[in-house]
Amino acid sequence: MKKTTIYSIIIASAAMFCACGELSNDYTTYPVTVELKYPAGSPAGPTSGVLVKLTGSTGNPVFESETNEEGIAVFAVPAGIYEVSSSSKEAVDNYTYNYNGIKTNIPVTAGRTDKERISLELVVSKSAQIIIKEIYNGGCQRNDGSGTFQNDKYVILYNNSEKQANLKDLCLTVVTPANAQATNNDYGTDGKLSYETAGWIPSGGAFLYFAEDAILQPFEEAVIALANAVDHTVTYRNSINFANESYYCVYDPLTYTGHASPSDRIPTSHYLKAHKFATGTMFIVSVTSPAIFIFKPTGGITPQDLANDTDRDNYHGNTVSAANKRKKIDVDWVLDGVEVFTNSSSANKKRLTAAIDAGYVYLTHYYGHTLYRNVDKEATEAITGNEGKLIYNYDLGVDGHGDPNGIDAEASSRNGAHIIYMDTNNSANDFHERTEASLRYNK
């Protein structure tokens, strides 16, 4: 999460002239030709429909034109000094590539011809199209308060873009040790993780993956039940009802024998497969403090290829045993990751490197709390059609420390709004602890 259509993030019509006042019809214009230059090796290349702007220095007139199939935009503008710029996005293999370029102090004078061409060098940056929206792993209280129930874990993935995505071959896994407060033998005497600069991150024990096409429309989510995918509310009213035909679940009895048969409302096409390379009867996600990440192999490598590649074998602390076996996952494949610390211990240590998650977020387990991603307020409010649909005064943060942007994402979505979530590569900025699971009422 391959598409070749590039769309502009600026909404405008082609070749439109914008200015604060009316422009006289009796002025002389000169041709300006702009060619977009894409970085070597980037997924995008010259294509039609990309918006290019010429902004004048006098009175700030703005001319806009779209590129042709060769990546060339043509203008006719009055003499003056101009700035040329372009900003666009492309969704490729579950990433969003952002292309931006600007060049200033361009003179347009009498005698200019259409043979003169301005090359606009674009710079590319990458962000994940698919992100982790919510993690529920801490369990809940039993009805009478006599104990806890922990077999209702889930993760929600989200298409944080305006382009369709396919989750096929996307993988979900955890880093071992399973708990942040556990002894971590990956740390050397220098206080750094042994794989910090190695270009890979360990998948601990197993990874799950989408074996079939799974299309996520823009701003759509995929719920993945990580344990037993049934209606738990029948027995535990504080738990989750997974009897939903749109949900996904972990059910691969040839690999894991500990997962109960899922609800018959979940179609078999929504069963995630598993590749296991350590011992265990279930896919294990820590109740207190998991380090979760999602990735998608590239270069023609499939999840099966990855599982069979013995050169990628690794062991926690280099202690060779079936329980410690892991797989090396290229950091460049990682779409998103979240480091969870427990607030019941001061011995937490990071397992995800800064390239994946530069921070961490705390969780209070056993009380039905979740880790929920914060809303990107500016980007969400800028979406056409969201005006009047966004619900504010969000108040589900633990101890009043919720989403600082104040938008109630779940209520707004039910009201027809589209949400863009924060993605700064730092879970301390991007997430908050929420007092109630978003799936609590099986919306």
For the stretch 274-307, pLDDT in tens is 999 998 899 999 999 999 999 999 999 999 999 9
| All structural domains of the chain | 7-127 (2.60.40.10), 130-374+421-434 (no CATH)
SS3 372: strand
Residue pLDDT, tens place only, 91-150: 888 888 888 898 888 999 988 887 889 999 998 877 889 999 999 999 999 999 999 999
Which residue carries 């598993």 as its tokens? 274
Largest CA distance in the chain: 86
Asked if residues 283 and 260 have their Cβ atoms less than 8 Å apart, the reply is no
User: Any residues with CB less than 8 A from the CB of 418 and at least 6 apart, and which?
Assistant: 218, 219, 380, 383, 385, 386
Q: Where are the strands (E) in 180-239, listed by range?
A: 200-204, 206-209, 215-216, 221-225
pTM: 0.81
Taking the C-alpha atoms of residue 51 and residue 66, their distance in angstroms, rounded to an integer, is 5
pLDDT reading at 24 higher than 60: no
pLDDT reading at 345 higher than 70: yes
Average pLDDT over residues 152-158: 98
pLDDT on residue 60: 67
DSSP-derived secondary structure letter, 269: G
pLDDT on residue 10: 34
pLDDT on residue 6: 37
pLDDT on residue 180: 97
pLDDT reading at 237 higher than 90: yes
